[in-house]
A = this chain, B = another copy of it.
C-alpha cells in the first residue's frame, strides 16, 4: 500500500515526470520491500507562485544542463549570500 505524493513545480518534460514517478516507486519497492503492485504514486504539478520556500514564492523552473533547476539554484544562492551578510 505505500502511497507516495510529490508536489513539484510545473515545467518538467513528460520524460522527467515519468522518470520521477517511476524511480520513486522503485525506491519504495527496494527499500520497504513492498511488492510493486501495491505501490501507488501521484505527481501534482503547480505554478511556481503557488509554492513557497524560505518565505518567498518559488520561481518558475528554468532548466539548465542535465535538467538542473537554474532558477531555484539562483534563489537558494541569493538566500545564502544574504544569510552570510547577516
Contact = CB atoms under 8 A, between A and B. Distances in A.
Given A4-B6, A52-B1, A67 B12 contact: no
Interface string A17-42: 11111111111111111111111111
A-B pairs, top 8 by smallest CB distance, nearest first, are A33-B69, A33-B67, A40-B40, A33-B68, A41-B52, A37-B54, A5-B5, A36-B55
Contact of A29 (B19, B55, B61): B55
**Copy number in this complex?**
6
Q: Give the residue among A7, A32, A63 with the most B Cβ atoms within 10 A.
A: A32
Contacts of A24: 4, 24, 27-28
Given A17-B49, A38-B54, 15 more contacts: A1-B8, A1-B72, A2-B7, A5-B6, A8-B32, A18-B49, A20-B27, A22-B55, A33-B68, A35-B69, A35-B73, A38-B72, A39-B54, A40-B40, A44-B46
